[in-house]
């Protein structure tokens, strides 16, 4: 099959990593895989990508343009004629293909407008949650009505789409790179104990709640430190000190997971976030919120699940894990068992199967 992925950007994010892993897996099975993206030339150099990539233009152009007055009126136009001038270059760059995969709400319009191959939409979140501007929210929401073959990455997203729009979509979960993320024996040279979190400025990631929860934890456990990692240190109004590790490699991240007392995920909404599952794979106990982690996070069985936006409940769960060694040891055993169920081979099998089935249906076979 000739398979093309349309991407808004190729910066280091969990969503981009998932798409690159799938592209590599499909390419390894003999498919001709291409990526059409906005971004800087060689912006994908952080990942060993085997698919061919064509950059339509710099990503910043579109992100600055989406709030332009012309685009604010875009929700009134025929979706089949969108995206108009802001995304014309990305649309025109789509190569001839059998399968053309949108990977973000705005690229869904490109997949329709390009009229190349069978159009898919690989959804990795409910994207109207990302935007505060009501017009952009409406443009994003419209994509769920477009005539695309849809794939959801989590049960949460599948159920949300069923509730809102009344249709069923197949679920294809991402996976863990098991040759990197596994329990490590790590020597603690400083004998310091720490809680690990993913630090991101985006409000729905809940980092301010993590800081408030840690403040409560530190009153009872003053020897416990807080570490966070990410691509850019969050700027939050808080007097809570924390160590920030910028853009750790996968190997460094596996060591962080393996040596942490536990990992916290305080997000308001996620749709199969990789980092709690990676932590589980490394034998790190996890405290997480629901809404996107239901595929692998099972309260009291392999982790603790607490409501989002509730620092008090988050702190209580953290303290419980720190004080209950038996529970912590059980999660250290159950986490890797859960993670082993999520392999890239299984993910690629599912994606490849959906593409082949849809092509056979479109050919009348």
Residues for the chain: how many in total? 365
Burial class of 270 by CB neighbour count within 10 A (0 to 12, 13 to 18, 19+): buried
pLDDT tens track for 311-328: 999 999 999 999 999 999
Which of 47, 56, 52 is closest to 18 using CA atoms? 47
Residue 88 is predicted with a pLDDT of 76
Residue 192 is predicted with a pLDDT of 84
* Distance separating alpha carbons of residues 87 and 41, to the nearest angstrom: 18
E strands, 67-192, are 99-102, 118-123, 149-152
**pLDDT(97) > 60:** yes
E strands, 13-117, are 32-38, 52-57, 99-102
pLDDT tens track for 146-157: 999 999 999 999
Residue 169 is predicted with a pLDDT of 97
Band (pLDDT 50/70/90 cuts) for residue 124 is very high
State mean pLDDT over 328-351. Answer: 98
Distances (CA, A) of 299 to 40, 45, 204, 262, 280: 42, 38, 21, 15, 13
Angle at 278 between CA 273 and CA 279, to 5 degrees: 105
Residue 75 is predicted with a pLDDT of 41
Band (pLDDT 50/70/90 cuts) for residue 86 is low
State mean pLDDT over 121-140. Answer: 89
Residue 83 is predicted with a pLDDT of 47
Which of 38, 35, 42 is closest to 59 using CA atoms? 38
Greatest C-alpha distance within the chain: 67
Burial class of 232 by CB neighbour count within 10 A (0 to 12, 13 to 18, 19+): exposed
Report the range of poorest mean pLDDT among 173-182, 231-240, 304-313, 352-361: 231-240
Residue 77 is predicted with a pLDDT of 43
Residue 238 is predicted with a pLDDT of 76
The structural domains of the chain, ordered by start, are: 2-175+344-362 (3.40.50.2000), 193-339 (3.40.50.2000)
331: helix, strand or coil: helix
| 226 contact partners, CB below 8 Å, separation of at least 6 | 194, 195, 197, 210, 211, 214, 218, 240, 241, 242, 243
């Amino acid at each position: 099959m000739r398979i093309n992925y349309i991407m808004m950007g190729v910066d280091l994010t969990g969503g981009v990593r998932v798409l690159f892993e799938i592209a590599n897996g499909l390419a390894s099975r003999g498919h001709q895989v291409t990526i059409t993206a906005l971004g800087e030339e060689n912006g994908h150099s952080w990942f060993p990508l085997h698919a061919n990539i064509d950059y339509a233009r710099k990503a910043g152009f579109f992100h600055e343009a989406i709030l332009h007055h012309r685009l604010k009126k875009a929700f009134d136009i025929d979706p089949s004629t969108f995206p108009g001038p802001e995304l014309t270059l990305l649309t025109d760059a789509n190569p001839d293909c059998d399968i053309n995969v949108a990977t973000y709400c705005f690229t869904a319009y490109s997949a329709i407008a390009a009229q190349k191959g069978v159009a898919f939409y690989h959804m990795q979140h409910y994207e109207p949650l990302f935007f505060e501007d009501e017009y952009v929210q409406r443009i994003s929401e419209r994509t769920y009505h477009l005539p695309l073959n849809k794939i959801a990455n989590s049960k949460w997203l599948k159920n949300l789409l069923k509730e809102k729009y009344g249709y069923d979509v197949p679920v294809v979960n991402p996976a863990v790179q098991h040759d990197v993320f596994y329990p490590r024996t790590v020597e603690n040279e400083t004998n310091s104990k720490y809680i690990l979190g993913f630090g991101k400025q985006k409000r729905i990631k809940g980092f301010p709640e993590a800081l408030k929860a840690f403040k409560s934890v530190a009153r009872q456990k003053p020897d416990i430190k807080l570490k966070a990692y990410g691509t850019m240190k969050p700027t939050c109004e808080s007097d809570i000190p924390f160590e920030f590790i910028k853009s750790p490699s996968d190997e460094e991240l596996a060591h962080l997971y393996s040596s942490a007392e536990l990992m916290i995920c305080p997000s308001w909404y996620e749709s199969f976030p990789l980092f709690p599952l990676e932590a589980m794979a490394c034998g790190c106990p996890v405290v997480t919120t629901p809404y996107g982690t239901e595929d692998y996070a099972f309260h009291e069985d392999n982790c603790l699940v607490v409501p989002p936006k509730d620092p008090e409940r988050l702190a209580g769960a953290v303290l419980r894990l720190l004080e209950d060694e038996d529970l912590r040891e059980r999660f250290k055993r159950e986490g890797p068992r859960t993670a082993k169920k999520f392999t890239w081979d299984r993910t690629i099998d599912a994606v490849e199967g959906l593409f082949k089935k849809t092509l056979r249906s479109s050919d009348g076979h």
